[in-house]
Structure 1
Amino acid sequence: MNETKDYFFCGIGGSGMLPLAMIVQARGGRIAGSDRALDQGRTPAKFDWLRAHDVALHPQDGSGIVSPDQTVVATGAIEDTVPDIGAARRVGATIVTRPELLSRLFNDAPVSIGVAGTSGKSTITGMIAWILQSAGRAPTVMNGAVMRNFADADHPFASALIGGPDLFVAEVDESDGSIARYDPTVAVVSNISLDHKSMEELRDLFGGFTDRARHAVLNLDNPETAALAQAMVEAGRAEAVITFALGHADADLSAHDLAPLPTGMTFTLTERASGETFAVVLNVPGAHNVANALAALGAVRALSVPMAEAVAALETFSGIRRRMEVVGSAGGITVIDDFAHNPDKIAATLKTLHAFPGRLLILFQPHGFGPLKLMKSEFIAGFAGLMREDDHLLMPEPVYYGGTTDRSVGSEDIASGIRAAGRQAEALPDRAACGDRIVAIARPSDRIVVMGARDDTLSEFAAELLTRLGA
C-alpha cells in the first residue's frame, strides 16, 4: 500500500476515522477530511486539534475532493448521496471504506492482534496496548475510544498509538460484517450476544475470524464463545486456543476471589499450565473488567509476554474514556459518563454501580432507532431486572441525523415496558428536557449515569450537568 498519497476522510472526527487518519499520517500520508459535526458546530475542540496537527478540514459538500490522485475514505455504510462521494466519483478519485483501509494495514503487519466481541473491545484493546507498550514491544494500536494511559495535553484524543509496522493491534467490528476482512495472528473474542445482526450471522462471522487466526483467545463464561473454543478443539486445533473465565477451573486463565474496590477490583489469577497464581489489582471497576483483563492477558501470552510482567502493567492501566468515567461530584452527587448502549454493556454498568450504595439516575440516549427495534425486549428486561426501586431512568429519543431508517420503535416503547415491570422510567422529547428533570430530582448520595454511544456531545452534556449541580 502506498501510504505517501493524499487521503480524504469523510467523517474524520468519528471515533473510528480519527485514529485511522493519524496512523496513515504517521506513515507518510497527507490527510484532509470533512465531518458533519464540523458543519454543525459540534465538538469544536476536536477539529481545532486536527487543524493543529496538519489536517486540512473542509465542509462536507464535496469541495475538498478535487483530484483523481486522492483516496477518499468513507464509512462502510456511507450513501452515494453524500456530496463527498459524489465529488469523488466525478473526479475519478479512489474510494475505499474505513474497514478496507484498516484491514489492509492490519493484514500487512507480520504480527497482529484483532479484538472482537459484543462488549469490552475498546477496554481489552487498551489493556493490550498498555501491556505491550510497557513490555517495550512498540505496537501500533487502533482503538475505537480514547486510551487514558496515552492521553496528554498534546494528544487528548489518543484512540491511536503510533508504534512500529511489525505489530498491529486493532479493535475489530462485526456490526457491518467487516470482521471478515481481518486475518489476525491472535483473535480475541470477548463474548457474543445479540446486537446488530442475527445470532446465525454472528456465529459465522466470529467463527471465520477465529478459524483464520494462529491463536484464539476465548471466553468460557459466554456460551457462544465457549462453543467456538469447543469447535476449534474438535477440529484438531486445541493448541491454538487460549481460554479464560471467572472461576472456571478448566480455563487456561481464570480469576478467583474477586473483590470490588470503589474505583477498581482485586482478584487472584491462576494460570492452568504452570499452576502459578498472581495477585492482580485493577484500577477499573467491575467483574466485567476482570474478564476484560483476562482476555488481554491471554492475548499477550500468545505473544510470549511474561505473565508477571503483564500483570504488573495492568495495575497501572488507567482505563478508557467514557467507560464509567467519573466526571466529578457536586453537592454530594456524582456524575458518571459511560459508553453503555446495548443490553450487555448496560447490565455490566448497572451491576458494577450497584456493588455500592446510592440511587442511580440514568440518562440513556439510544444510538439509533434500529437497535431499539431489534433489542426492544432485551432493553426492557435488562433495565427492569437490574434497576432498583428507587432508581430512575430518563430517555430522550434516539440519535437521528437524517437518512432512511425505521422509526417505528422509540424511547417511550422502552420506558413504558420498564414502568409495566414496576420500575421508574420516563421518555422525554429531547436530552435537554431529560437534563432539566435530572437536576430537579437529584439529591445528595445520588449517582447520575450518562449512557450512550456515537455522540461525542454526551460528554459535554455530563459536564454541563455537573456544573448545574454545583451552581
Structure 2
Amino acid sequence: MSEPSYFFCGIGGSGMLPLAMIVQAQGTAIEGSDRALDQGRTPEKFDWLRAHGVTLHPQDGSGIRADMTVVATGAVEDTVPDIGAAKRLGATIVTRPELLSCIFNAAPTSVGVAGTSGKSTITGMIAWILQQAGRDPTVMNGAVMRNFADADHPFASALVGSPDLFVAEVDESDGSIARYDPSVAVVSNISLDHKSMEELRDLFGGFTGRAQTAVLNLDNPETAALAQGLVDDGRGEAVLTFALGNDAADLSAHDLVPLPTGMTFALTERAGGARIAATLNVPGAHNVANALAALGAVRALGVPLDQAVASLETFAGIRRRMEVVGAANGVTVIDDFAHNPDKIAATVKTLHAFDGRLLILFQPHGFGPLKLMKAEFIDTFAGLLRPDDVLLMPEPVYYGGTTDRSVGSEDIAAGVRAAGRTAEALSDRAACGDRLIDLARPGDRIIVMGARDDTLSQFAAELLDRLRA
C-alpha cells in the first residue's frame, strides 16, 4: 500500500496552496490537481509546486486513492471528478475550512483575522511584526506576503514556523468563520459582501465572543456594535479597540499625511498616553486602519508597541494590493485585488489623493456577487469616479458550474453612465485591453481590478509591455 497523503483539489488556489505547504511542513506527502493546470494557466506556479515535492495529477479522478485524505474547497461541487472518485473509493474527504480550523484550533495561541476588507494586509502585517519580534509564527494568508517572497518562495502566502503560534486569515463568505476558536480575534470591518447583514452579525458575533481578546474597529458601525455588545455582556476587558482620529479607542491614529507610496501618522495609546510617530510604506488611510488592527493584535500578544511600529515601517505590502507593475511613456499600471465596493472605494480614494486620470479595468469575480451588490457597485463607481475617469468592464469570471447569470457587467456600466460618469462594458478582457491602450495618455494611471483570476497580473504586465512598445 502507498504512503498516506493529502490530496488537494484545486491546489493552485490562493487558499489551497498555502495550506498545502503548511501540511507538507508537518511531514505529510502532498498531491493535488487543479483545473488551471489542465487548462495551461499559470504554469510557473505548478512547476514550483513540483519542484517542492508536490505530485500533481489531472483533475479527472485518476490521482485519487482510497488511503488519501482529499481536501476540497468549500465551494467544490460533487461533479468534480476528484470528489466523485474519492466518494467511490471511500477516501476521507475534508473541506479546506475544516482542515485549516483544525490546525488553527490546535495551536496554544492563535490569531484569527476577519472582516470584509483588509484581512490579507492585516495578516501580513501581524506576520511581519511577530517574525521581527522573534516569535516564529506559522501564518496562513490568502495572498502573497512580499516580505517573505523570494526566488525560492515566489508564492509566499504561507509562513511555516512554530505550531504554537498560528495566525490565519479567516473567511466569513462560506460561513466557515464559525469553526474558529481564536485566542485573538481581529475584525477590520463588516459590510455587505457575500451574505446578508443578519447572517454576518451572527457569524462575527460568535467569532469575537469565543475569543480571549477581540480587536475591533470603532470607525465601522457593525464592529463598534460588536465591541459594545461584549462590554454589555461584562467582557469589557476582552475588547481592544482602534480608530482613526478617535481618542476613545485604545489605539488611534492622528495627523495622517499621504505620501506617493505610503503614509505617516501619529499613534496614540489611550491607556499609557504614548504617542509614537509611525511610517508606512503602503499607501492610503485604509492601510493606517489595517496597521492599527495589526498593532492591536500583537499588543494582545505582548509585543511592545514601539517595537511593532518600527517593524511596520519595513512592511513591504501584499501582492496585488495596489501593486505598481511599472510605468511607460508617462502611464503607470497598477495591479489590485479590489473586488467588492469597500475595497474598490479604498483603492480609488487612495489614488485620487494624487493627480492623474484613472483608467479602471474592473473584472467582477462572479455573477453571484454582481447580482447581490449591483446597487452598491453602481453607487461606488458613480460616487467616486471623477468626470475624466473611465471604467471598463469585461463579463465576470466564470469557470463553469451552476450560477445565475441574469446580471452582467453592462448592468453596472449602464447604471454608472446614468449617473453621469464614463463606463463601458466590452465583450471580453482583450477588448478592454485594446481600449485601455487607445485611451492611455501621459499622467494616466491604469488600474487592473479583480479577484479569483491569477491571469489578471499577467494581463497587467502585458499592458505595460504594450505601453512600452
2:212 counterpart residue number:
214
What CA deviation, in whole Å up to 9, does each residue of 1:212-246 have, x standing for no partner?
A: 00000000000000000000000000000000000
1:251 counterpart = 2:222 = no
The residue that corresponds to 1:42 in the other structure is: 41
Structure 2 residue 398 is the aligned partner of structure 1 residue 400:
yes
- Are 1:146 and 2:144 an aligned pair? yes
Over the aligned positions, Cα root-mean-square deviation in angstroms equals 0.6
- The Cα of 1:429 is off from its aligned counterpart by 0.8
Q: Distance in 1 between matches of 2:380 and 2:356?
A: 19
- Deviation by residue 1:253-308 (Cα, 9 ceiling, x = unmatched): 00000000000000000000000000000000000000000000000000010001
Distance of 1:257 and 1:236 partners within structure 2: 34
- If the length of structure 1 is used for normalisation, what is the TM-score? 0.99
Aligned to 1:111: 109
Deviation at 1:110, TM superposition (A): 0.1
Partners of 1:454 and 1:113 lie apart in 2 by 25
Q: What SS is found at the alignment partner of 1:300?
A: helix
Report the secondary structure of 2:24's partner residue: helix
| Structure 2 stretches lacking a partner, 5+ long | none
What is the deviation of 1:69?
1.2
Is 1:423 equivalent to 2:421 in the alignment?
yes
Q: Distance in 1 between matches of 2:167 and 2:60?
A: 34
- Amino acid aligned to 2:423: A
Equivalent of 1:306 in 300, 304, 307:
304
Once the two structures are superposed, the pairs formed by residues 39-438 of structure 1 within 5 Å of their partners are 39-66=38-65, 68-438=66-436
Aligned residue identity for 1:59: P
Q: Which amino acid aligns with 1:221?
A: D
3-state SS of paired residue (1:115)? strand
Return the offset for 1:371.
0.5
| Cα deviation digits, residues 426-471 of structure 1 (max 9, x gap) | 0001000000000011000000000000000000000000000000
Deviations 1:6-63 (A, max 9, x none): 0000000000000000000000110000000000000000000000000000000000
CA shift digits 1:57-77 (9 cap, x unpaired): 0000000002x2100000012
Distance between the aligned counterparts of 1:60 and 1:5, measured in 2?
19
TM-score by length of 2: 0.99
Distance in 1, matches of 2:36 and 2:189, equals 32
| Count of aligned pairs between the two proteins | 467
Aligned partner of 1:64: which letter?
Answer: G
Can you give the 5+ residue segments of structure 1 that lack an aligned partner in the other structure? none
| Letter aligned with residue 275 of structure 2 | T
Instruction: Supply the distance in 2 between the matched residues of 1:203 and 1:462 (Cα, whole angstroms).
Output: 37
Kindly state the Cα deviation for residue 5 of structure 1 after the two structures are TM-superposed: 4.0
- The Cα offsets for residues 146-179 of structure 1, whole Å up to 9 and x where unpaired, read as 0000000000000000000100000000000000
Matched residue SS, 2:135: coil
Aligned equivalents of 2:327, 2:75: Cα separation in 1: 39
| 2:412 alignment partner AA | I
* 1:265 aligned counterpart, secondary structure: strand
Question: How far apart in 1 are the matches of 2:439 and 2:162?
Answer: 51
Alpha-carbon shift at residue 393 of structure 1 (Å): 0.3
SS in 2 for 1:352: helix
